[in-house]
Amino acid sequence: MGVYPVDTTWIDRAVSAHQETVARFARDHAAALAEAAQSLVETLESGGTVFFFGNGGSAADAQHLAAELVNRFRAERRALRALALTTDTSVLTSVANDADYRRVFARQIEALGRPGDLAVGITTSGRSPSVVEGLQAARRLGMRTLGLLGRSGGEARALCDRALVVAADDTARIQETHLLIGHLLCEWVDQRLSGPTEELRARHD
């Protein structure tokens, strides 16, 4: 049996595109990311809840990041108030069936959100109607808003107190950068809020 060369150029291209996308975001938006991370910490320190939401791969990111806060990222610390609005199939399907899919996140924000909470909308296009309506609902309630967005940021950008926009056209590269952004947000939370569990509990009781 002959030995045929293995084509790895497609891997090299994808890795290079990933590295370029991440490097460009870090170069252009490091300060905005630091500000967003501090907003997340301030919300949690004040007893607020962080709500994550998005569709498809962004829904998976929402669940991933909520889990990092409720459970742990790297450091041992108290559980933190975070919820992904993408997991309750009864709520999601009832709103989509009885009203409109655009309302699936907004309705939950209206039920659960409070002034001072933080809504984190994730959309690679910046134009997802359900994410846009979720952010609109959060603003009406006096919540803080943060967007993990892609391309130009779309309609969602103007609805965010802080918008972290990955200026790329490839959805996969945007999603990869969103995950890095999410982990960096969690890393700052760990740095600021980790410590002896009893000490943290006493501070917030």
Strands (E), 80-186: 82-84, 118-123, 144-150, 162-166
Could you report the per-residue pLDDT of 166-190, keeping only the tens digit for each?
999 999 999 999 999 999 999 999 9
How far is 34 from 169, CA to CA, in rounded Å?
A: 24
Domains annotated for the chain, with CATH where assigned, are 10-204 (3.40.50.10490)
Give residue 195's pLDDT. Answer: 64
Mean pLDDT of the chain: 94
Q: Residue 196: pLDDT above 70?
A: no
Span 102-113, mean pLDDT? 98
Could you report the per-residue pLDDT of 117-131, keeping only the tens digit for each?
999 999 999 999 999
Question: Are residues 78 and 204 in contact, defined by beta-carbon separation less than 8 angstroms?
Answer: yes
Could you report the per-residue pLDDT of 30-71, keeping only the tens digit for each?
999 999 999 999 999 999 999 999 999 999 999 999 999 999
The token duo for 132 is: 């846009």
Q: Residue 3: pLDDT above 90?
A: no
Helix axes 171-193, 9-45, angle to 10 degrees: 40
Q: Residue 204: pLDDT above 50?
A: no
Q: What strands, in cross-sheet order, belong to the sheet with 144-150?
A: 82-84, 50-54, 118-123, 144-150, 162-166
